Structure 1
Amino acid sequence: MTQDFTPGTVYGVGLGPGCQDLMSVRADRLIRGATHIAYFRKKGRKGHARSIVEGLLAPGVVEMPMEYPVTTEIPFDDPRYNALLSTFYSRCVAQLIEMSEAGGDVVVLCEGDPFFYGSFMHLYTRLLNRVPVSVVPGITGMSAAWTATGQPITWGDDVLTVLMATLPEAQLAEHIAQTDALVVMKIGRNLDKLRRALVHTEREADAWLIEYAAMTNQRVIPFSEVEESVPYFSIVLIHGNGRRP
């Protein structure tokens, strides 16, 4: 007589902005109890997600690094970019399904929140209806960034817009001009383009740059004082100033 077999669950666990004590209790429990973990990283790097959980993992945990085949080497609008990433995600999903079907739970470490501009989303949609999947939300980097400024990001009826600095300059300027409060991510090599859009909309003086929010090397400065290149973990903010009692 055969017994029903229950596959393991793949957990997408949000780690928050990069500080262990900003993880949720649920995330901490799952990570400490994990027998299998997976995480994204650049080739040749330890991976930021893996670094965040240093010291939390149980002895003997099985690690599955998922190394991106491409990051900035090919423009994201190049057809090769999507093709390479699609193949990469499919390969990662096959490995996760194999682990699940062997009966083991897998914790996938996700920087920030798994459903907010994260790579895990591409695994999640491919895993659905194939193996059990569960998502643990996390504090986003932008939340840590506006908290680091010591100012509320929105008041009353303020409209908050989240932009990727990878957008064309004209689109950046259009959105910046129309919103009350602003978050801009993925700055990096798009810094000069973003600066021109802020100057064009006469909002540069209102903007702040936050580097490594909630991490030990956090830095908060007015955007107008930024002269050099900025690290990947940088966010630009404009605070709303809306209705209040």
Structure 2
Amino acid sequence: MSAPGCLIGVGVGPGDPELMTLKAARLIGAADIVAHFAKAGNDSHARRIAAAHVRPGTVELPLLYPVTTESPKDGADYRERIAAFYAESADRLAAHLDAGRDVVVLSEGDPLFYGSYMHLHIRLAPHYRTQIVPGVTGMAGCWSSAATPIAQGDDVLSVLPGTLPEDQLARRIAGADAVVIMKVGRNLPKIRRALAAAGRLDRAIYVERGTMADGLTMRLSDRPDDRAPYFSIILVPGWVGQP
């Protein structure tokens, strides 16, 4: 009987394939199984980033989300459906691991930072060998695309999900020197109001699809509408009064 395989969480970075690490490329190319998350009916963004490194004939395991909107985390229906999805996905990976196959799970950005891989890791790590390959985070890609220094010295940097209630967003924005707001999407109107309430709207930078060929960077106050894709981030740089 063969030894169980290894679960490998691989960060593929924020979008530009050239930002993948050499280690990520090597492990993807050597994998028995490559798993990737996607919305039903859509291609996996992580799979597109890693496309050049997936060997022809590699067994691929698409993991298709049953729900895709950023619903309130305390919604019972959402929590039940997404928990069942992660449990089922972990079982599918476990079958390959038990057969002695190494499984690479592709993750946009970094696997352990707001990534779906984490939900598989906590279910499987107690039972199988694991390896994590860090990746360039989406926020790092965005502030690099914007060529904007984000924090230095004693600046406090807060990373906030745009799904937070508006009053919490405003309070946390006001209490930080520099801010990154993720999970923008349909939350943009609320985020804009929270930034205004915190007195930070004039410093906010909107970055869409950072590091990608079709990326966009602009002052949020100059954006004429409140539509935003999932791959968008808002930056509020620190550095106020710094030498």
TM bracket, shorter-chain basis: over 0.9
RMSD across aligned C-alpha pairs, in angstroms? 1.5
Instruction: Name 1:124's counterpart in structure 2.
Output: 121
Q: Name the residue aligned to 1:236.
A: 234
Per-residue deviation, residues 57-100 of structure 1 (Å, max 9, x unmatched): 11110010000111128654320111111111111111111101
Offset of residue 242 of structure 1? 5.3
Give 1:35 deviation, angstroms.
2.4
CA distance in 1 between partners of 2:198 and 2:71 (Å)? 30
Partner of 1:23: 20
What is the match of residue 147 of structure 1?
144
Query: What is the alpha-carbon distance in structure 2 between the residues aligned to residue 239 and residue 180 of structure 1?
Result: 7
- Give the conservation status (yes or no) of the 8 Å contact 1:155–1:243: no
Corresponding position: 1:180 with 2:177: yes
- Determine whether 1:54 maps to 2:51: yes
Please state if 1:167 is matched with 2:164.
Answer: yes
Conserved in 2, the CA contact under 8 Å of 1:34 and 1:105?
Answer: yes
1:207-229 superposed Cα distances (whole Å, 9 cap, x missing partner) = 10001011101111001011221
CA contact (8 A) 1:35 1:60 kept: no
The C-alpha deviation readout for 1:185-235, integer Å capped at 9, x for no partner, is 011111111111111111111010001011101111001011221111000
How far does residue 7 in structure 1 lie from its aligned partner after superposition?
Answer: 1.0
- Paired with 1:118 and 1:134, the residues of 2 have a C-alpha distance of 15
Aligned to 1:136: 133
Residue in structure 1 matched with residue 194 of structure 2 by the alignment: 197
Moved more, 66-75 or 231-240: 66-75
Return structure 1 stretches of 4+ with deviation > 6 angstroms.
none
Contact 1:155 1:242 survives alignment (8 Å): no
Q: How does 1:64-79 map to 2 (within 5 A)?
A: 64-72=61-69, 75-79=72-76
TM-score under structure 2 length normalisation: 0.96
The residue type equivalent to 1:192 in the other structure is P
- Counterpart position of 2:82: 85
TM-score when normalising by structure 1: 0.95
- Amino acid in structure 1 at the alignment position of 2:237: H
Shift in alpha-carbon separation, 1:145–1:35, aligned structure 2, 3 A:
same
Aligned length: 242
Which whole-Å deviations, capped at 9, do the CAs of 1:2-49 have from their partners, x for residues lacking one? x7x421101000001011110111101011122210010011111111
Within 1, Cα distance between the matches of 2:5 and 2:33?
11
Structure 2: distance between partners of 1:242 and 1:133: 42
Gaps of 5+ in 1: none
